[in-house]
Amino acid sequence: DAGITQSPRHKVTETGTPVTLRCHQTENHRYMYWYRQDPGHGLRLIHYSYGVKDTDKGEVSDGYSVSRSKTEDFLLTLESATSSQTSVYFCAISASGTEAFFGQGTRLTVV
């Protein structure tokens, strides 16, 4: 999968707890993205990064923050998890900002 590793692959957490998901790439691509996938909504962009320490919001960024201190790592943090954040989260990378390659996903359940 284009040198992308997401961790953890599965997580169950309690409402109100912070959660951090990690995306690690070995391709040295400039752009990295976090999407969430929910039935009937396709893939919706949460946050993206266009370089180290350069990030911007997507269409569903409320309740999420990101950090990119190294080219290879893009972290997604749910500051205080809610049941509405139960979803499958995908990381994607792109060299040019167009062709994007996805990781295997993280299934997060908030109980």
Residues 70-109 that bind another protein (CB under 8 A): 90, 92, 97-105
Beta carbon nearer to another protein, 58 or 63: 58
Beta carbon nearer to another protein, 12 or 95: 95
In angstroms, how far apart are the furthest CA atoms of the chain? 38
Q: How far is the CB of 103 from another protein (least distance, A)?
A: 5
**What are the CB-based long-range contacts (under 8 Å, 24+) for 99-102?**
100/31, 100/33, 101/1, 101/2, 101/4, 101/27, 102/1, 102/2, 102/4, 102/35
Residues in contact with another protein, counted by CB under 8 A, come to a total of: 25
Contact 2, 27 (CB under 8 A): yes
User: How many other β-carbons are positioned within 10 Å of the β-carbon of residue 26?
Assistant: 11
Pick from 23, 31, 36, 68 the residue near another protein by CB under 8 A. Answer: 31
**Residue 40 within binding range of another protein, rule CB under 8 A:** yes
55 DSSP β-pair partners: 49
**Residue 14 within binding range of another protein, rule CB under 8 A:** no
List of residues contacting another protein (CB under 8 A) = 1, 31, 33, 35, 40-45, 48, 50, 58-59, 90, 92, 97-105
